[in-house]
Amino acid sequence: MNIHEYQAKQIFAKYNIPTPKGIMVESVNAAVTAAEELGGPIWVVKAQIHAGGRGLGGGVKLAKSLDEVEELANEILGMTLVTHQTTAEGKLVQKLYIEDGADIKDELYLSVVLDRKSEMPLIMASTEGGMDIETVAENTPEKIITVPVDPTIGFQGFHGRELVFGLGITDKIEQKNMIKFAEKLYRLYMENDAEMIEINPLVKTGKGVFLALDGKMGFDNSALGRQPEIAAMRDYTEEDADEVEAAKYGLSYVALDGEIGCMVNGAGLAMGTMDTINYMGGTPANFLDVGGSANAETVAKGFEIILKNPNVKAIFVNIFGGIVRCDRIANGIIEATKITDVNVPVIVRLDGTNAPEASEILKNANIANLIVGDDLGDGAAKAVAAAKGA
């Protein structure tokens, strides 16, 4: 789960991680009032959406007067922001963050992420702040410093020293400031079950103070149950509505841009099904994992979500029944086609426990549009053919 910059900065404040002062607003009037309260003389008007690259997309701008704040707030609020991290349609800006302009001497990069290789949190830093870090990693990997922190010992002095010497910070007060900054950031990461915290840029002011000018945070969904304050920051309007709806029913859904709707049990087989459709010359319209215990209700919901997509020309239901018996799933599919108006061909492949009985049930049900696939390859081929014929 991701949060907005203004929320990340609220969390920074709790940990005494320095940030410029700012106020989140949802209207132009409130933006001007906020700017007055902050005092100026320079403000930054920032679009609040869950995506990086806002500056380049025109969602972050500098104002030198209250009139300019008003003008920019007017311009950015309600705009659809397209960045390299959004879809081509972009994201609607519904919130702004009005922030004090900072006295910037240097721009750095600092993040904490989970390193899957070492299975530890990894502190990453670079002197190339304000740039897309993936580009830096690609072109000048030597400019990225990585410091893994073993969570069983936590952040130690040596971690801090590796960081500041790696960044080439020589002033002793600045060294101390940076080490404290990183230590707090690590503590925040661990205590809140964060998955990723990125500050880009982290700026050094003329006084040698380090400030988090930006803040991006993502959290481990599996830990939200014990992080109620974080969970409360969730902004559903930033997420795909169909994915959110699917999740309510225990379905894991991701929309794609193809023509064949997929309904599969298990994430691996669901991806494998998409790959097989692609291999057979078709295009998958979605990823959909109905979970281990597919039943009539979840299957019906799956049909409903898949059919919302107007590009869908056929649906491939691919279930490998393990503990769940296929005959029960077959009945579930029949029930589901009664509840939902399924107006495209549905190819069903059921394998595993009681698969022959399931095939019989489906064949005897005499449902128009329902085609039985014998195995994964056969089912996918029939789905591709059906989509082309439709």
CB-facing half-sphere around the CA of 296: CA atoms within 13 A: 11
Residues near other proteins (CB under 8 A) are: 85, 114, 116-117, 119-121, 134, 138, 150-152, 190, 193, 195, 220-223, 225-226, 252, 254, 256, 264-272, 274-280, 284, 287, 289, 292, 320-323, 351-353, 375-377, 380
State how far the Cα of 378 lies from the Cα of 356, in Å rounded to an integer: 16
State the nearest-atom distance from the C-beta of 258 to other proteins, in Å.
Answer: 8
Catalytic residue among 6, 97, 109, 186: 109
Of the pair 163, 326, the CB lying nearest other proteins is at 326
Task: Render 185-238 in DSSP notation, one character per residue.
Answer: HHHHHHHTTEEEEEEEEEEEETTS-EEE---EEEE-GGGGGG-HHHHTT--GGG
Answer yes or no: are the C-beta atoms of 122 and 148 closer than 8 Å: yes
Annotation marks residue 198 as catalytic = yes
Of the pair 149, 164, the CB lying nearest other proteins is at 149
Nearest to 46 by CA among 65, 66, 22, 64: 22
Of the pair 33, 353, the CB lying nearest other proteins is at 353
Annotation marks residue 109 as catalytic = yes
State the nearest-atom distance from the C-beta of 227 to other proteins, in Å.
Answer: 9
State the nearest-atom distance from the C-beta of 98 to other proteins, in Å.
Answer: 29
Report which secondary-structure segment, H or E, holds 163: helix 157-166
Q: Which amino acid is at 22?
A: G
State the nearest-atom distance from the C-beta of 85 to other proteins, in Å.
Answer: 8
Of the pair 151, 206, the CB lying nearest other proteins is at 151
State the nearest-atom distance from the C-beta of 277 to other proteins, in Å.
Answer: 8
State how far the Cα of 284 lies from the Cα of 377, in Å rounded to an integer: 15
Of the pair 75, 115, the CB lying nearest other proteins is at 115
Catalytic residue among 174, 195, 198, 238: 198
Here the contacts of 306-310 (C-beta below 8 Å, separation 24 or greater) are: 306/261, 306/262, 306/263, 307/261, 307/340, 307/341, 307/342, 307/343, 307/344, 308/242, 309/255, 309/261, 309/285
- Residues with catalytic function: 109, 198
